[in-house]
Amino acid sequence: MAHNMLRQCVKKSASLGYPRVFFGRSAYVTGEKLMLLRARSSGAGDASSRVIIRSAQKKDAASMTDIYNAESWNYIPETIETFVDIAGDNFLVAELDGKVVGSVVLHLLDEKEAFGGLAAIVPELRGKGIVKKMWAERSKRIGGRNLGVFSVLHRQQILHDSGFQIATDRIGLVSGRINESWLAAEGENVETEVVTASKVPFDLLLKYDTEIHTIPRPMFLEKYLARPSSKSFVAVNKKSGDITGYTIVQPGQTAYRIAPLFADSFLISKLLLQKALRSIPKDAEVDLFLNWSNPASCEFFDKNKDSLGWVIDGVRMFTLRDVPIAHNHKVIALTAPEITLV
């Protein structure tokens, strides 16, 4: 059964569409969290006329983190502050009576491409027109760009009807523990050394990252690496000095997130995972957004299926054209499907 599921995950889904997950994994929301969010959003009846759509500030990070984690999105305020830094004025929030009640992000990658996500609204205010107001404000900022998003599968048709005509690579969020004995069985690799990112010239890491993301993202990478609680590791060929992969691990509310995991080979990805896991508490849970279109990602899940759970399945969607994952075989896990291509 698991093997058949993995075969399915490699196939690209049909061209259906999406503009971003509003409801997330709502089945996981606890009653206590719902009560907290509802208490924040009193007076919902005329909310749309009173709501203000504005650019996010770092001080909003705690409120936004509460909203996201009520959907089990596994964030800490530090990561949201970093996204505010990266997206700038295009990280939008809905404010009602002085309280943040929703958000949507637009990351302008260049003059042709944009990526969006983190669309959320407190449960009490769904269906009140606030999401439409946030989308309208975001639409003003897109220009003629191709907009990409990450959608859970059950919202594809809704997003297709909203203009996201193209559905491409399948992405799966998995969570749990990685089998360290499976990693240890690989032993050392005489050709590869895994070092902390601080020991590698930033320009070289940016060059490697750009080969995969295709659109240079120096500001994103610099800020993403600089988060105090994150730990970054780079695989380097001992003979040539070439970078052959990198990964970053950072804490979330419920699990550590490994994002990205880029590697030139499956062996190198395992060496990077060894270093990442040794840098966090033993037996800590992790989650990853796996690239199901890469057979190596499916093999990774298959080798850890007894300790990793399949949380949600989704797909990358675009309004105008597909943006294929360059060097797909190197992308085991994505960086931040909320605001980046990979």
pTM for this predicted structure: 0.86
> How many Å separate Cα 203 from the centre of its chain?
24
142 φψ region: left (φ > 0), alpha (ψ -120 to 50), beta (else)? alpha
Alpha helices, DSSP H, located in 214-265? 218-225
Query: The tokens of 235 are what?
Result: 């695989």
Beta strands in 154-197 (DSSP E): 166-176, 192-196
The rounded distance, in Å, linking the Cα atoms of 110 and 6 is 34
**pLDDT surpasses 90 at 213:** yes
Give Cβ neighbours of residue 196 (< 8 Å, ≥ 6 apart).
Answer: 231, 232, 233, 234
pLDDT (tens digit per residue) in 280-304: 999 999 999 999 999 999 999 999 9
Question: Whose structure tokens read 């240079």?
Answer: 216
- pLDDT bin (cut points 50, 70, 90) of residue 10 is very low
What's the topology of domain 18-164? Aminopeptidase (3.40.630)
Beta-bridged to residue 176, according to DSSP, are 286, 308
Check: CATH 3.40.630.90 for 173-333? Answer: yes
**pLDDT surpasses 90 at 218:** yes
Q: Does 216 sit behind a cis peptide bond, omega within 30 degrees of 0 on the bond before it?
A: no
Supply the mean pLDDT for the chain: 88
pLDDT (tens digit per residue) in 89-130: 999 999 999 999 999 999 999 999 999 999 999 999 999 999
More confident residue, 263 or 38: 263
* CA–CA distances in Å: residue 4 to residues 49, 295, 302: 50, 13, 11
Looking at residue 39, what is its pLDDT? 42
Looking at residue 233, what is its pLDDT? 99
pLDDT (tens digit per residue) in 63-91: 999 999 999 899 999 999 999 999 999 99
Per-domain residue ranges for the chain? Answer: 18-164, 173-333
Looking at residue 186, what is its pLDDT? 62
Mean per-residue pLDDT, 261-273: 97
Asked if the domains 18-164 and 173-333 are classified in one and the same CATH topology, the answer is yes
